């Protein structure tokens, strides 16, 4: 399935948002995720089914000043 992840096109086999995060090596409870502009909370990621052409944003905190 084709997904747009952080603005880049990807061909991914993951069916859920949680599977996608594992596939892309994102770890931690501090991530923020959104699909098609709607926030998906951590506790909902395992059940959140992805669809072809979904736009996914994965944000992680950055250090710096």
pLDDT in 10s for each residue of the chain, 65 residues: 999 999 999 999 999 999 999 999 988 778 999 999 999 999 999 999 999 999 999 997 766 65
How many structural domains does the chain have?
Answer: 1
Do the domain assignments include residue 18? yes
Q: What is the CATH number of the domain that holds 22?
A: 3.10.20.30
Do the domain assignments include residue 64? no
Burial of residue 56 (number of CB atoms within 10 Å: 0-12, 13-18, 19+): buried
Instruction: Copy the structure tokens of residue 41.
Output: 């909370």
> What pLDDT does residue 11 have?
97
């Amino acid at each position: 399935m084709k997904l747009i992840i952080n603005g880049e096109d990807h061909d991914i086999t993951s069916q859920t948002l949680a599977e996608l995060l594992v596939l892309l090596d994102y770890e931690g409870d501090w991530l923020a995720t959104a699909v098609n502009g709607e926030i998906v909370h951590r506790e909902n990621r395992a059940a959140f089914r992805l669809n072809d052409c979904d736009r996914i944003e994965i944000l992680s905190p950055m250090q710096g000043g």
